[in-house]
């Protein structure tokens, strides 16, 4: 199971919230040099588009300026304020994209033994060393995608030189490239369904590893990056975990 957080980019200026629709409006005005044409291309009424411009201008100052007619026929242009607003929105969206792409892969299991805060959790994909709550027996282990490290499966990780205590071999199921970050879904062998683990890698790392669908890969993560969450023994997750353990014994 994968849990994904969703975020929407917005800018707040006084009592006005500027979202993607507003940026699309500014882009259209800039592209066509006309508020009438922008409204037409966006499928919005001119009156509503004009009202929205006025609302934003009351918060940030003039965002459009009218050019008088001449050989070019005049039109509407964006002000420096409007262009700065677009740049701020784009910077915020780029920063937020890194957060939005982070997901959590979750594996239900049973705590078999523990040393201090760390415990070995038997899951459908095998044992995971994770941080577990005191006295918890049934947990869900959540692993953030930005904590997973992908390497060539033939690459040996020396136990004394790494803290990546959890390592699983799998196959690349899906790649979702972004501008600089790629989300990788790794299919793992395990009980029940088709378990997967998600990872985030840079474009350079993706190219270096030759990531492609069907490529065998090793996925590793620290014990401290795996967080056990206590679950109710009567919950469906706990029942599925118990059945899985019984089938292996």
**Residue that wins the pLDDT comparison between 10 and 240:** 10
Rounded to an integer, the average pLDDT of 53-60 is 95
Sheet-wide strand order for 181-188? 149-151, 216-221, 166-177, 181-188, 196-202
Summarised one tens digit per residue, pLDDT across range 162-218 is 578 899 999 999 999 887 788 999 999 877 678 999 998 888 889 889 999 999 999
3-state secondary structure of 4: strand
Q: What was the pLDDT predicted at 241?
A: 39
- Average pLDDT for 59-82: 82
- pLDDT-derived band at 14 (thresholds 50, 70, 90) equals confident
Lowest mean pLDDT of 59-63, 97-101, 142-146, name the range.
97-101
Phi/psi at 240 (5° precision): -65, -40
Q: What percent of the chain has pLDDT over 90?
A: 54
The predicted pLDDT at position 237 comes to 45
Nearest to 200 by CA among 223, 173, 169, 175: 175
Radius of gyration, CA atoms only, the chain? 26
Tens-place pLDDT, residues 77-122: 999 999 889 888 876 765 666 665 678 899 999 999 999 999 999 9
Tokens representing residue 6 in the block: 């969703």
Residue with tokens 């004009």: 50
The CATH class for the domain spanning 103-248 reads mainly beta
237 vs 66 pLDDT, higher one: 66
Candidates 74, 68, 75, 82; CA nearest to 27 is 82
Query: DSSP letter at 69?
Result: P
Band of residue 158 on the pLDDT scale cut at 50, 70, 90: low
| 66 membership: H or E segment, kind and range | strand 64-67
Distance CA(245)–CA(196), nearest Å, equals 19
**Other CB atoms within 10 A of residue 184 CB:** 26
Domain ranges of the chain: 9-67+74-100, 103-248
Give tens-digit pLDDT for 21-43. 999 999 999 999 999 999 999 99
Please tell us whether the domain made up of 9-67+74-100 is placed in CATH 3.30.465.10.
no
Of 125, 127, 123, 155, nearest in space to 140 by CA: 123
- Token pair recorded at residue 204: 């350079």
Closest CA to 244 of 111, 125, 104: 125
């Amino acid at each position: 199971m994968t849990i994904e957080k969703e975020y929407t980019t917005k800018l707040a200026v006084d009592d006005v919230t500027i979202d993607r629709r507003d940026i699309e409006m500014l882009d259209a005005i800039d592209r066509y040099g006309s508020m009438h044409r922008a409204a037409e291309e966006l499928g919005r009424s001119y009156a509503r588009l004009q009202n929205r411009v006025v609302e934003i201008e009351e918060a940030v100052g003039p965002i459009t300026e009218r050019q008088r007619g001449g050989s070019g026929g005049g039109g509407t242009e964006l002000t420096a304020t409007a262009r700065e607003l677009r740049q701020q929105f784009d910077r915020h969206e780029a920063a937020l994209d890194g957060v939005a792409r982070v997901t959590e892969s979750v594996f239900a299991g049973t705590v078999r033994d523990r040393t201090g805060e760390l415990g070995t959790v038997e899951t459908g994909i095998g044992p995971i060393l994770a941080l577990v709550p005191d006295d918890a027996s049934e947990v869900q282990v959540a692993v953030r995608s930005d904590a997973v490290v992908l390497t060539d499966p033939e690459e040996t990780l020396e136990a004394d030189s790494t803290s990546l205590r959890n390592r699983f071999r799998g196959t690349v199921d899906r790649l979702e490239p972004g501008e600089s970050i790629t989300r990788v879904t790794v299919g793992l062998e395990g009980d029940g369904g088709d378990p997967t683990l998600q990872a985030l890698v840079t474009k350079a790392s993706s190219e270096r590893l030759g990531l492609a669908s069907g490529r065998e890969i090793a996925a590793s993560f620290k014990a401290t990056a795996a967080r056990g969450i206590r679950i109710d023994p009567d919950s469906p997750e706990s029942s599925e975990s118990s059945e899985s353990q019984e089938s292996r014994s």
